[in-house]
Chains A and B, each alone.
Chain A
Amino acid sequence: MAALRAGKTNNEADQPSSPVLRFGSDKPLKLDAGTLLSPFQIAYQTYGTLNDARSNAILVCHALTGDQHVANTNPVTGKPGWWEVLIGPGRIIDTNRFFVICSNVIGGCLGSTGPASTNPATGKPYGLDLPVITIRDMVRAQQMLIDHFGIEKLFCVLGGSMGGMQVLEWASSYPERVFSALPIATGARHSSQNIAFHEVGRQAVMADPDWHGGKYFEHGKRPEKGLAVARMAAHITYLSEAALHRKFGRNLQDRDHLTFGFDADFQIESYLRHQGMTFVDRFDANSYLYMTRSMDYFDLAADHGGRLADAFAGTKTRFCLVSFTSDWLFPTEESRSIVHALNAAGASVSFVEIETDRGHDAFLLDEPELFAAINGFIGSAARARGLSA
């Protein structure tokens, strides 16, 4: 069973069930690690139609364990796209009006080159032979995808969490190509606490004997237990104490009394185990190491002499930032420091903090105030861009 699932994920890595753009040795990807990645590929999805002026394109950047299937049924899980509540025909981001692009990030495991992809030099999966990927590397690759579509300037780049980091990187590295930017529940750098949580997750993966130094595919194994534990720990950080208590309290799972053992007595335990188990069915363990590392390394101010405002000097991009009151992974203060930097850079910026007890994951959920803010921001940006309703 494990081997079967392993095989399935591996196929998505090389031969994704979405369009894929392959770059040969003439177009290598320059990596921050100091090497070139070549050949490489980007798996992506698009929705809607690019207009003649090529001015209605929206790039959606996915989070840590997301993928390009933002608004279609996921081929691995069979579940709806991860942001279908927001994106689709007649939705807030209306695909009858906008051309929406979402690509799997470099280092991912759903079809863009990552550690589960076959290394052409060896015929085996890259594993840890893939250089460490940064947020800027991901954005550099996305920019090559946007070039492929002949799009000079994206109407909007948006995303939450790690996706929000990519949005900030886009706005900083390619300001002339971003008309509006919508970074949600994110930060300009990963905090020490966040790096700490990621390290716990990575250690869980690497402590699993089935990890085999990253060469588990060659052993016909996958470090499912380690990856599941990593996901369980991370999942707690995506919620809030209030939401956990509201949903689960101290309720017992399918039993009337404590068992005086270590089975999942509590509903919250059962819930987390389920989250861990379903995650390993859809995600590659090495890719999890690479994704978490990319966020840890992100520090936009450090890339600009320690002054965040300099990352946005002279920008003409319209910004809207969103944070959530109960998000303790990327608390409001993280967004506020970006807002202050944008103010200092003289940028056009809106900033909304949304009251919710649903924690970091609120950005993926049906949050009416979030949708109202996105709708208002996109609407006014579209008028400024001369896009008809």
Chain B
Amino acid sequence: MSVNGSQRVDLEVVANLIPPQSRVLDVGSGDGSLLELLQDTKQVDGRGLELSQRGVNECVARGLSVIQGDADKDLEFYPDKGFDFVVLSQTLQATRNPKLVLDELLRIGNRAIVSFPNFGHWRVRLSLFVKGRMPVTQDLPYSWYDTPNIHFCTIRDFVNLCEELGATVEKATALDAAGQKIGLSMPWWFWNFFGQQAVFLLKR
């Protein structure tokens, strides 16, 4: 369910948040890149949930523990706090009910890690402001009528949702267009403007 056209520069940022030997559920595990990275470098006990059957079959053939399922429907079957970390990378904006999904992540995992493309990025704003058209960028290559990304948000929007769900932001990282971390000292508005992607570590 990787619905972002760019290189997954967020994967290493996500991986760095996870200590060795953790129990990890990767929701929207795609081709299994993150699970494989975590298994090889952190020896985690990793599981995946992936929407596309082709992605699942490839993962299982590579020895990864992945099942076919839908983040909107299938998270309810997981027990409370069954994992140390639940990861949702580049998938939140493609879910039908992001609020419910985020709520489920916080229930299932001791911590949730969420990465998403920032719709508040200046290129997006510029496209809408200048061209008056829905933005199509290298990062978000779909047109409005065929995009799987139905629930875009900005970094500010996401922070608000976290507050609404009673989640604490333990760590947040914004990546600029080059995949470089934006300095921690920068204020939220700066992140929201220059961050192309964001990675949040949450706890409730």
| Residues of A that sit less than 8 Å from B by CB | 318, 320, 339-341, 343-346, 348-355, 369, 372-373, 375-377, 379-380, 383
| Residues of B that sit less than 8 Å from A by CB | 45, 47, 53, 56-57, 59-69, 74, 77-79, 82
Residues of A within 8 A of B53 (CB): 352-353, 355
Nearest B residue (CB) for A339: B67
Residues of A within 8 A of B78 (CB): 343-344
Partner of A348, one of B59, B65, B74: B65
Q: In the complex, A74→B82 CA distance in Å?
A: 47
A sample of 9 inter-chain contacts (CB < 8 A) reads: A341-B77, A343-B78, A344-B79, A346-B82, A348-B65, A372-B57, A376-B60, A376-B64, A377-B63
Contact of A380 with B57 at beta-carbon distance under 8 Å, contacts A340-B74, A344-B77 already known: no
Q: In the complex, A99→B36 CA distance in Å?
A: 29
Inter-subunit contact A373/B63 (CB<8 Å): no
Residues of B within 8 A of A355 (CB): 53
Residues of A within 8 A of B74 (CB): 340, 343
Inter-subunit contact B60/A352 (CB<8 Å): yes
**Residue among A339, A343, A346, A379 facing the most chain B CB atoms (10 A cut-off):** A343
Q: In the complex, A352→B69 CA distance in Å?
A: 10
Nearest A residue (CB) for B53: A353
Residues of A within 8 A of B61 (CB): 369, 372-373, 375-376
Residues of A within 8 A of B79 (CB): 343-346
Residues of B within 8 A of A346 (CB): 79, 82
Q: In the complex, A349→B47 CA distance in Å?
A: 8
Nearest-neighbour CB distance to chain A for B36, whole angstroms, equals 11
Q: In the complex, A310→B63 CA distance in Å?
A: 26
Nearest-neighbour CB distance to chain A for B192, whole angstroms, equals 36
Partner of A373, one of B45, B47, B57, B69: B57
Residues of A within 8 A of B64 (CB): 350, 376, 380
Q: In the complex, A377→B60 CA distance in Å?
A: 6
Q: In the complex, A375→B61 CA distance in Å?
A: 6
Nearest A residue (CB) for B76: A340
Nearest-neighbour CB distance to chain A for B15, whole angstroms, equals 19
Nearest B residue (CB) for A381: B63
List 15 additional contacts besides A339-B69, A350-B65; criterion CB under 8 Å. Answer: A318-B65, A320-B60, A343-B77, A345-B79, A349-B47, A350-B64, A350-B67, A351-B66, A352-B57, A353-B53, A353-B56, A372-B61, A376-B60, A376-B61, A376-B64
Q: In the complex, A98→B77 CA distance in Å?
A: 35
Nearest B residue (CB) for A370: B57
Residues of A within 8 A of B47 (CB): 348-349
Q: In the complex, A340→B68 CA distance in Å?
A: 11
Nearest-neighbour CB distance to chain B for A241, whole angstroms, equals 21
Residues of B within 8 A of A320 (CB): 60
Inter-subunit contact A340/B77 (CB<8 Å): yes
Inter-subunit contact A383/B63 (CB<8 Å): yes
Inter-subunit contact B65/A352 (CB<8 Å): no
Inter-subunit contact A380/B45 (CB<8 Å): no
